[in-house]
Each structure stands twice: as C-alpha cells, then as structure tokens.
Chain A
Amino acid sequence: METCKLLHENVFAYVEKDLPPVMLQQFDKHVAECAECAAMVADFKSVLILMEEQKSIEPRPFAETRILQGIESRLEKRQSSSFPVFGRILQPALISVGVATALSIGFFIGSDFANVNSQYSQNEEITESVRSDLNVPEFMTDDIIYFTE
C-alpha cells in the first residue's frame, strides 16, 4: 500500500526512468505483483508513446505554399491600402476636389447624370477605404506581449 502511494506520486518519472536505480528496482518488483499499479503504469507508458507521436506531427501538404500565398496577398493588401502620412491628410481633400470637378464637368456637359453618379459613388468608395485605413487594425490593439526579447 505504501509503495502503491509512492508509485502514484512518481509514475511519470518511473516510466521515463528518471528515478534513482534503487527506486526503479523497488517499483519494478511492485508492478510485477500489483495489478492496479501495473494498469496505471501501462497507461503512462502509452502516454509516452503518444508524446513521441506529438513530436513527429507534420504540417499538412502544401502548407508552405498556402502560407506564402497568404503572406503575399496580405502584404499587397496592406501596401495598397496604406498611404504616407501626408497622403492621408491630402487624400480626403483630393477626393473632395475630384468630386467637385466631376460634378462640374457633369453639369457643364449637361447630360448623362448616371455617369456623374457612378463617378461620385466611386469616389465615395475611395473615401470609405481611406476612412477604414485610418482605423488602427485590430491585431495592433489589445495583444498581450507575454515574453519579450
């Protein structure tokens, strides 16, 4: 009973053979006689095999290609949606001028209102993309830096 308790407290170290030789021999002898401890030791030996299996886990096929494609598209997206600081300031002004010019030209020509509208909605889309670009991306907001260099 005393040995059962002792083995319960050291079963991980026992199956890993991370104990003094005297203790290992004592437990070997006990396991040969105690069915309950033998079952527990068998369970922990299977844990060691499963842990070995975890070491040899491989990425799925083409993971490298998928990652490269993902990186490329994310970097491209960021590059195309990020403006230099002065651009961020100038962009709304430029858009306003663009809208005004488009409207003036539209009125000047005096025809094809649909065309003006589509120009306007395009500019509205650009304004929206600028607005969303000014927002701080979610990934930069509340991450915890657990371990630092």
Chain B
Amino acid sequence: MTDQELITGILNNDKTVIQFLVSKYHKQVIKTAFHLLQNMDDAEDLAQDVCVEIIESAGSFKGASSLSTWIYRLTVNKSLNFIRKNKRKQLVHQFESFFRKGDNSIETRVTEPSEYDKTFENNERRQILEKAVNSLPENQKTAFILSKYEELSYREITEIMNLSLPSVESLLQRAKQNLQKKLIVQFSEYSNKK
C-alpha cells in the first residue's frame, strides 16, 4: 500500500486501512517515543495519541515528505511536548530509575547467576548512558536518538527536524562531544564509588 493509498483509506474511514497503519508504524512510534521519554507506558500512550492525530489530520498531509517522516515528526513533537508538560514527573522517574537496581524499563535478558555481577554493572552503565542522553539539550538529544537508535540517515533527520544538513551534522557532533564529556565524568565517579 502506497502512502497516498493509506491516506485515502484513512480519509474514507476504512477500518482495515487504520489497522494496517497501526500494524506498520506502531513499532517505529513506540521505539522513538521510548528513547525520548524513557518510559514504556508513556511511549504506548503517546503512540495512541500519534495514531489518533494521523487519523484526524490525514487531510493535512501534503506528501512533501514520506509518511514515515511525517509520523517521525509527529512523534518527536508530541514527545517533546510531553516532556515539557511532565518535566517534574519525569525528573522523579529518572531519579528513581537511576537508583533502582535492575531497572525493568528495558526488557532485560534472563541470565545465569554467575553473570550477576556483569549484569549489575551493565545496568549501572545503562542508567549512566540513559541519564547522559537525557541531559543533552533537546535538539541534540533528538538528533542523536534518530541517528544512533533509529539509524536514520542525515537526510531523513534534516526532513524530520526541518534543519539543513550542516545544522544536523553540527548537532550530532556536539551531541557526541557532550555525551563523551558527561560519560567520562559519570564513569569515573562510578569507578571511584566501587
């Protein structure tokens, strides 16, 4: 089904097309929202919001970019608004998840008891990484997540974020530099604690 066929089906209120839309894009939306929000419940709720918005504003999709790009843009916009509205709630969650051992916000693999120490250390490292990514400025964080976790090309990121190629390159460069600095500090603090 082409993007245009999908949009036409949505405009005709075709339930099969809506099911197809959710089946095709829910994973993309949930993953992106999860990376930005760091909470699976919120990511699922946001996926619902995004789908409802696609259905309600399908008529405004001009086809200037692909449907996937439009959906990424809706997801990022809604996630950033969610973060803005829930900043306080989010801070508490991050604080808790940082200190929660064996955090289950990410599906962790079942491991042998002999691997416990390794898993514990991985969880610590995972939380350090989450915290560092979360503390990046909004634009850097978004570009980093789209590039590194969603593996989108620079061109796709320019379309989603409505920026030029040099701006995206510079954002990603700064994101990596900032992340590197933060991680070096966090890892050295962590190894001093051990």
Contacting chain B: which of A26-34, A55-63, A109-117, A119-127? A55-63
Tell me the complex Cα distance, A44–B179, Å: 11
Known: A60-B44, A149-B65. A71 touches B129 (CB 8 A): no
Report Cα–Cα, A145/B80, bound state, in Å. Answer: 9
Q: Which residues of B contact A146 (CB under 8 A)?
A: 76-77, 80-81
Given A43-B183, A74-B48, 7 other A-B residues pairs in contact with their CB atoms under 8 A: A9-B180, A12-B179, A50-B129, A51-B129, A64-B22, A144-B80, A149-B61
Question: B48 near A67 (CB under 8 angstroms)?
Answer: yes
**Nearest residue in A to B35 (C-beta to C-beta)?**
A54
Give the distance to chain A from B4, nearest Cβ to Cβ, in Å.
15
Q: Are A59 and B81 in contact (CB under 8 A)?
A: no
User: Are A40 and B65 in touch, CB under 8 angstroms?
Assistant: no
Question: Which chain A residues numbered 78 to 98 have a C-beta less than 8 Å away from chain B?
Answer: none
Q: What band does the interface of chain A fall in when counting residues whose beta carbon is under 8 Å from B?
A: 35 or more
Nearest B residue (CB) for A42: B187
Q: Count A-B contacts at CB 8 Å.
A: 106
* Interface size classification for chain B: 35 or more
Known: A66-B44, A70-B48, A74-B48. A50 touches B126 (CB 8 A): yes
CA distance A25 to B23 in the complex (A): 47
| CB 8 Å contact bits of B19-52 with A (1 = contact, 0 = none) | 1001100110011001100001000100111011
Contacts of A51 in B (CB 8 A): 129, 148-149
